[in-house]
Structure 1
Amino acid sequence: MNILLCYVTPYSLIAVLNGDKTVRVKFPYPAFFDNYSDIWESVYGEALFRLGLKSPLNTIVVCNSQDLLYPLIKGKSVKVVPAQEAFSEFNIPMIFLGEKRVYCPQGCFELNINSEAVFKWFDFEESVVNVTNFFQNRFLYGPAPAESVWEKSFQNALIRAKMQAAFRLVSPNFLETVEELYLSGEALYGFTNFQELLLNFLDAMEVLGFWRLYFDDKAVLGPLAGLYPEKERALKILNKYPFKRVADVFIVPGVASAQIIFEDGKKQTLNLAREGIHLVPLSKEELTVKLRLKKGHFEKKVSAGVFGAVFDTRKRPLAFSDLRSERFTIRDNIRKQVRGWGSQIQSSNNKD
């Protein structure tokens, strides 16, 4: 049976058909809503057209009950589920970064991000006024695809600011107890720079631990959350969707070494004495990683992702220089390392 799952953001509609086809349709600017006789039917109809549908048999819409669009959709011939309820009951280990909020199994939290927070992460822009003006225009008119180098840098700085705020809002207990973590949300929709995504995560995460990090680049977890009463059906779609496995991440400040055990039983010691970010490029082989911590031994299975196994031994919370040029130099050096890692992994995979 055809089922159309929708997630409504303050600026767009993300629709998923049968867990397979996805589209995103932007809403008109809020100031122009009065120009439309039915703003929902206009955008919903466009989504159906792009998906090649005339009328789906069943439609579920996830929308925050505090949003302007919620009462406009509530009276339509679709099932509307409050986003606060959907994400809490869906109970998938995710951080769903929205434009104004973050969702996780613990509930919904407001993201009170201002232009100064974005400017903090904008390494090469010297004028806070430029960032503030762009930030305010984006807030009024909604996000647009980042095209210029400056716009891409702004987008990246905004993601860093949101991710750091989100990790501080979410209970450390949740982050410490999950091993799989999905990064999703309309704030990350279509983001393709995995190097920056990984660095954003490492710079923003203050909790210590291990995560198998997955990325949902089409934000399908938003629409899929509407299926929470049918958990088996939701999991069936979830298991077949090609989420990108970014890396198996260890955030372990002060750890001096790690023991790598290969499938054939051979062992290798990885030197982590230098404080920083270290990587073990992986092909298709599953490895065992053993770490010696103050509380005892720590052992995890790791396997191939975009960046293999990543060890971040930097002290938490991270301290960044007040000099923007120094911060940029430090991060740029890390970016170059990550690009090199990607090349190593690609070369390794091509030999398989």
Structure 2
Amino acid sequence: MKKPYVYLTRQMPPAIVEKLEAECEVGMWEKEEQPVPKEILEKEIQTADAVFCTISDPIDKELINKAENLKIISTMAVGFNNIDVEAASKRNIQVAHTPGVLSETTADLTFALLMAAARRIPEGMEVIKNNEWGAWAPFFLTGQDIHHARLGIIGMGRIGEAVAKRGTGFDMDIVYHNRSRKSEAENEIGARYVEMDELLETSDFVCVMTPYTKETHHMINREAFQKMKNTAIFINSSRGGTVNEDALYDALKNGDIRGAGLDVFENEPISADHPLLSLPNVTALPHIGSASENTRWKMADMTANHILQGLRGEEPDHPVTL
């Protein structure tokens, strides 16, 4: 009996490939750090029974409708806005993602970004690299206290809750805004639900942790930045499209907010001439929220397991549903 064909859009470790090869024929784009070209993905998806993809691979309606044999799309990410889930559902193609497994790791990075932006750590490194470190001065590179500050979290999902827990270790006052109240976060962490305006107006740190959807597109806009304290630090490790980057640039340049820590951008990857990188009060990272070795291994393994489940006619452990 012919084995089902699985296409991997990025190079994966041998152990992951071998797991799939035990039950499937496997094709793979051989470059780890470069997305598969659209024309190759289009060719492969026409015969694939399953696709192992990442957030960098747009799998739109046009591609899905060309996939005659496709049974499951499994993405190595918690976000799935790169996949037209509605088009897949109409074709009875399952879609799976990797929530939960990356929550703690992404929360670690988010809080590290918050601390680096607050205490101006990248700026301090540049001072040393540029041989500009002179005598001690009372207000040289002074930053912002994290302890006992107010942390406002927009989007209290798994990662948001994990960030809030880290804030309690710094005796932070935790407030949040979410589509629905989270009694567990309120009871166990001491987080307090507030309306969006109050969160923006009173938080020392505003942290966006929402998924990217039509509703959250540019939800943090010019009006939102104008409501924030001029001492506020803005953190985004969710999706770049949740923020209007032009408005963020103006808010930082004009002193409407104090600084920003960014792990994500609307169009990735960005280049060195991106306007936000010209500002000294921006701490920027190349979308590495879940990038610990242990977590990425777990994500890859979960993605492979979902594919095998789907090809066996089972529902994957973490399906995406409309």
Check whether TM > 0.5.
no
Q: Which has the higher contact order (CA 8 A, sep 6+)?
A: 2
> Which structure shows the bigger proportion of residues in strand conformation?
1
